[in-house]
Structure formats: C-alpha cells, structure tokens
Structure 1
Amino acid sequence: MNKHGMAKRNSQIKRNNQIKKIKFSPELVQMLAEQQQTLQEGQTQQQRINKAMVEVFGNLTNESKREIKAYTDAQLGRVDERIDRIEKMIPLTDGEAMMLKQTASKKAAQLVKTILYRRFGNSDYGGHEFFNAKYGHVIRTVYSLLKHEFNVIKYTAILHVQFQDALDFTNQITVDSLPAKATRLTDKQIEKLNEWEERHGLSLTPKED
C-alpha cells in the first residue's frame, strides 16, 4: 500500500475511534426512544386505517355486486316477459298442426267404433260408407270441442305453447263427453245404413225422432 492509501486508512480509523467515544446523554436517549415509539404507533395506526379501508372497499364491492345482480335479474325478467308475450302470439307450426290433425282423426275413428258398438253390438256394423258418414260428423265435433276449449276460430290457430295441452285434451275425449247430437244418427246417416242393411238382408234401422 502506498503512503497516500496508508494515510487515508489511518484517518478513517481515527474518526471511527472518535465516534465510539461519544457519550449519548439520557435526554437524547429518551428523545430517540420516544421517536421510535411514535413511529411504531404511527405504523400500527396506519395498519388499522389500511384494514378499515379494505373492509370499507370490500363492503362497497359486495354492495355493488348486489346492485349489479339486482339490475341484471330485473333485465332478465323483462326479457323473459317479452319472450312469453311473443310465444303467446305464435300459432302451431305446420308439423304441430299436422300431428294434432292426425290425433283428432284417430280419436274420431275410435269414437265412431265405440258409438257403433254400443248401438249395434258391432263396431263394423253398417259398412264403409256409413262409417265415413258418421266419422265426418264426429270429427267435426272433435274440432268444435278443441276450438271451444282453446277459444280459437280454427284449430290451426291454437298457440304453439298450447300444443301439448291440445294433444292431451284431444286424447281425453270420450263418447260420454261428446254432446248428444254427436252420438245420434242423422237422417242421411241412417239412409246410408239402410242401404247397407238392404244389401245384407237385415232389418232396417228406423230414423230417430
């Protein structure tokens, strides 16, 4: 080490030794202690403030979430109401109308067979033409019941949302639920029946009053 470096090192050692010899007065020690305590208390207070702020902001966030959810639910409710109103205006689709027609046709045929069986003891009595005549009478009654039940002027105007209800209603129709005029034989029907009876050498069914 050169002379300059040695002199600089000796000077630093001398200053350090001087610092070690410094005696802090009791007042200075007390003041430093108070400042340290004040600093710690300040840090503790700041921590409390920070915690309170977190809680406040947390509450505000939860409140905001509740407000947003309430607003969203209200909007979704209005959308659902609009969809319900739209659905209540949509009539049967072509496929649904066809299925309802097939269901009504099948039900009418079953009803005619029951009517003939109760009247003559044979669901095939009277032949094909007589059956068709009575079938036309009964199917019109089935459609009339459908229109009355769903308050429409034609069965195809039944609403899309009522499709399943319309099917269920049709399937539940029985001979006993038909109006009396639907089960009686009209004069034209009896004419068809008498023609068949004459061909088969049977007694003629009289016209009904």
Structure 2
Amino acid sequence: MNNKSGTTLGLVQLALFSAIIIIMAFTPYLGYIPLGFMNATIIHIPVILGSLYLGPKKGAILGGVFGMTSLLNNTLNPNLTSFVFSPFYNVGEIHGGLRSLIICFIPRILIGIVAYYVYHFINMASKSKNTHVISLAIAGIAGSFTNTLLVMNGIYFLFGTSYSDARNIAADSLYKVILTVIATNGIPEAIVAGILVAAIGKIILKIKHI
C-alpha cells in the first residue's frame, strides 16, 4: 500500500471511529447516562479502541471528539453541574470559562494515549501471547480511569467551592463526594471498559494484522 492510500485509509478509519463516538453521544441514554448531578458515560470505549487500532495520535484526536460532544451535550442539555464542562452554561454567577475547557478536553485527549502505551508496555514486558487479552483489559481500565480520575480531581482543584455550592454540599466534604463518585461511577465504568475493550479489541486488532 502506497503512502497516499495508507493516509486515505487512516483518515477514513478515523472518521468511522469519530462517527461512532458522535452517534453514541447523541443517542439518548447510550453515550451519556444522566444521573441528575452529572452524566455517566461509555464513550471512552471507542476512544480506547480507536487508539489501539489507529495509534496514540489519532487516539488523541478521538479523545478530542469525545470532549467536543461533552461540551455540546452540557451546553444543549445542561444539568446541575454542566458549568464544569461548558463555558457557555452558567449557574447564577458560577461559570466555567477556560477551566471547563481544560476538564472537558484534556482528560479525554489523554484516554487513548494512556490506554495505547499501557497496552504496549504490558505486551513488551511480558513477551507472552497469553497476556494479550489481559493487556487489552488493563488498557481499557487504565483509559477509563484516566478520564474519571482527571475529570473528578480537575473539578475538585479547579472548581472546588463553585461545585460545592451548585450541589449544596459542605466544602470540607467535597473530596468525600468526589471519592464517592469515583467509586460508584468510575469503578463500574472501568470494569465495563476492561471487558469490552478485551472482547472487541481482540477482534479489531486481529483484523488489523490480517
């Protein structure tokens, strides 16, 4: 395959993964699952799979697409704390601005990058084909936790008092609430990501090497 054909194929594949992310994001109760105070999500899964298939640079682009859908979703369908993801949504005098863009995009861009290198590091370290599925599962978990941990800690460090006020909780209890969200949302999301990335990733990576 010449360079031009390879580039075209890569762009088509990137577009397909991006389309999957967008369809999931704007299909009710599929990509974003409303919880009242914020949304749970499984959109990190195609970002992880896309990064494993296309490489970390395109994975970062897919993470950016995820971030953009998050910004649009929180602007058009806001919830109590959407200001942490959208600079275009305010709650009284509380607004996100640049901080919301950091939370909306940086963790999502890093999802695929982290998952890609975790997967390849484990494979290189083990040098055994028997760990292939395990490395996929761990990559899925790592990518998912990258999103959850960076988003929730970003909220704590960048919004702190504003987030506490919006949710009507005491400021000194905020990190306990953050840890609760990580435990109740982040851990199930990571488990699901690990299972799906292991199952689907094994198939798409096999197709890639045919």
Shorter-chain TM-score: which interval? Answer: under 0.3
- Greater C-alpha Rg: 1
More strand per residue: 2
TM-score, normalisation: structure 2: 0.28
Structure 1-normalised TM-score?
Answer: 0.28
